[in-house]
Structure formats: C-alpha cells, structure tokens
Structure 1
C-alpha cells in the first residue's frame, strides 16, 4: 500500500518533468532564405515578467540560428500564452472488496464486507505557449511551435519551464 501511495504522489512530479512540445512547418518554406525577423505580436495576458522571459528566450534561440531582429524582417513572429484550470481525481482503496478466498476454494467465511474508497480532487493550472512564424512577404504561415506544461507557483520553476519549453521547441528548427 505504501508503494502505491508513494507512486501516486510521485506521478504528478514525473508527469510534469518536461514540457510537451510539438512543432510543425511548411515543407515548401525555404528557411535558409530567412535572415531577419520582427515581433508582430508578443505574448501578453500573463505575468509581464514571464512574457518578457519568453520573448528573451525566443530572441536568443533565433539569434543562435543566425537570425537578426529587425524593424521589418523576413519573418513575423507571434507568440500567445494561455492557461486553463484542470482537475485530477485520485482514488485510493483500503480493505479487501472481495473478502478473500477460502482455503477450500470458496469465498472466505464472514468476509464479504466491502473496502473503503477515498477520492481526492487536485486542481492545477496548465499553461500553453504557441509561437507562430509567418513569411512577411508572402503573408503565410511557415512554422508553429507549441509547448504545454503544468504551471508552478514558484517563479524559479516557471522560469526554468519557459527555458526548457523554448529550447525544446527550437531544437530542430529548420535552417
């Protein structure tokens, strides 16, 4: 029983160890032709400090790819942040619901009582970061990255999560 309880307590930590990231791109887009970008829409609506960290992380990733921030670049970047409230239900059972087997192949004598169940409700917040890129001349989408993760109440953990999400998002960015 202690092992199951320990596993149940560790599962949320393991489940949120890294953000879930997906990326998509226009296969016809020639990313080697893009050298500059500009911010068409910076993230807003959340914490201004977190929004600033997102912009700084994306700027650093694009700079590392050889791109330069310009007033009117080859690519328009738009980032969106949203959060939603989620719930998880954890049910723990105690006692034996069947009463046990008797040694003569039948049900245990006098043991048909049901066990008890306790359900706990856990509320948590999930944050999603979406980064879209558009060819500014053709005005069409060329790339999208999405990262989703449970939001921590610790600013240090949020900062780390933003860094991990953006790094993972741009890990296989086309060049």
Structure 2
C-alpha cells in the first residue's frame, strides 16, 4: 500500500511539473500609460548596420523568428503594413550565454537500531566529487516601438536552454514556443492610458 502511494505521488509530481513548464522563462516590461488598444498594424523596424550584420551571420534563425512573430501577430488580428503606415514597429535581438551548473556528489552512510522502547539512527554524508555541467541559454528579446512617439513601449524576453544538435524542425518548434510565450503577454491585459 505504501509503495503504491509513493508511485502515485511521484507520478503526480512529474505530471504537474511537465504540464506547466514550457522551459521558457518570460519577462515583460512596458509603459503602463501607453494605450495599446490603438495598435492595429505593425511593420518590422529597419535594422541598424550592426543588426544587419548579426542577422546575416545566422539568417536561418532570424527568418524563423520573424516568421513566428508574423504568424503570432496575424493570429491576434494585427496587420503587417509598410513602416510609414504602421501603428507600431517590431524588432528582435538574440543572445546566447554559456552557463555552468555545479553538482556535488555525496555518499551517505547510516546506522539504525530498533529496540523494544524505540529506535536510534545515525547518518553522515561524505563528499565524493564535483561535476560541472555546461549549457547554453538563448534569450530572445522582442521590442515594440510606438511609431508616433518613436519610443520603446513594450519589451518581452524569453530565456530557454538550447542545444546545438537540434534538427531544423526542432529549432522551428522551439522558436515558435518562445515567441508564443513572449508575445502571449502582448498587449498587456487591460492596460491603456486613462
């Protein structure tokens, strides 16, 4: 009975963690005085020379991001138009950071005794080694610029662990997930100028 209950608890924990985590950590900042309800059309901001060079280095990545952003905004009712007619401009930036996680390994020894009037137990642990796991975290930043004011009014970013051995289909799936998670918070709910 006890063993069965442990399995049920473990299964529920795994399902609850898996079900609510896309692996994307999203952060958003915006101008609370901005009337986001005035936005109906958008265009891509013209890239700076540095952005143009960066995007040329990995054009496949940036084309996937732009396609995902376009699809998400179209599904939300925003129309892509020429920059001169747009209500807002969109731009994006990608960064990749190497990180390390340190894991300490320990061995534990224990002794227990059960007598007629109770029990006694002693346990101790000994460090046996340290392992370092290196990984990469990709960050996608999406900016929304109010055309009339020519200023940033909304920024969303999403962080996710990335790998180098992903297929093109897997890369597209990951980008779509990150874009949808980030733009899922645009526009801010019930946030308009008063």
Aligned to 2:192: none
**1:115 Cα deviation from its structure 2 partner:** 3.4
Q: Secondary structure at the match of 2:37?
A: helix
Aligned to 2:94: 81
**1:123 Cα deviation from its structure 2 partner:** 0.9
Equivalent residues of 2:23, 2:161 under 8 A apart: no
Which of 28, 39, 44 does residue 33 from structure 2 map onto? 28
Provide structure 1 residue ranges, at least 5 long, that are not aligned to the other structure. 1-9
Q: Secondary structure at the match of 2:82?
A: coil
**1:33 Cα deviation from its structure 2 partner:** 1.6
- Cα deviation 1:12-55 (Å, max 9, x = unaligned): xx7x8421012222222222222221111567456321211110
Q: 1: CA distance between counterparts of 2:149 and 2:43?
A: 15
Question: TM-score, with normalisation over the residues of structure 1?
Answer: 0.74
Aligned to 1:120: 131
Aligned to 2:172: 159
- Listed as ranges, the matches of 1:1-175 within 5 Å are 17-41=22-46, 44-45=54-55, 47-72=58-83, 73-96=86-109, 115-153=126-164, 154-155=166-167, 156-174=169-187
Q: 2: CA distance between counterparts of 1:171 and 1:22?
A: 11
Q: Pick closer, same or farther for the CA change 1:102–1:170 going to 2, 3 Å.
A: same
Q: Pick closer, same or farther for the CA change 1:95–1:32 going to 2, 3 Å.
A: closer
Residues matched between the structures, number: 159
- Cα deviation 1:102-128 (Å, max 9, x = unaligned): 99xx998xxx9x834121111111100
Q: 2: CA distance between counterparts of 1:125 and 1:57?
A: 22
**1:56 Cα deviation from its structure 2 partner:** 0.5
Cα root mean square deviation, aligned: 3.2
Equivalent residues of 1:21, 1:147 under 8 A apart: yes
Equivalent residues of 2:41, 2:79 under 8 A apart: yes
**1:94 Cα deviation from its structure 2 partner:** 1.9
Give the 4+ runs in structure 1 shifted more than 6 A.
none
Equivalent residues of 2:42, 2:81 under 8 A apart: yes
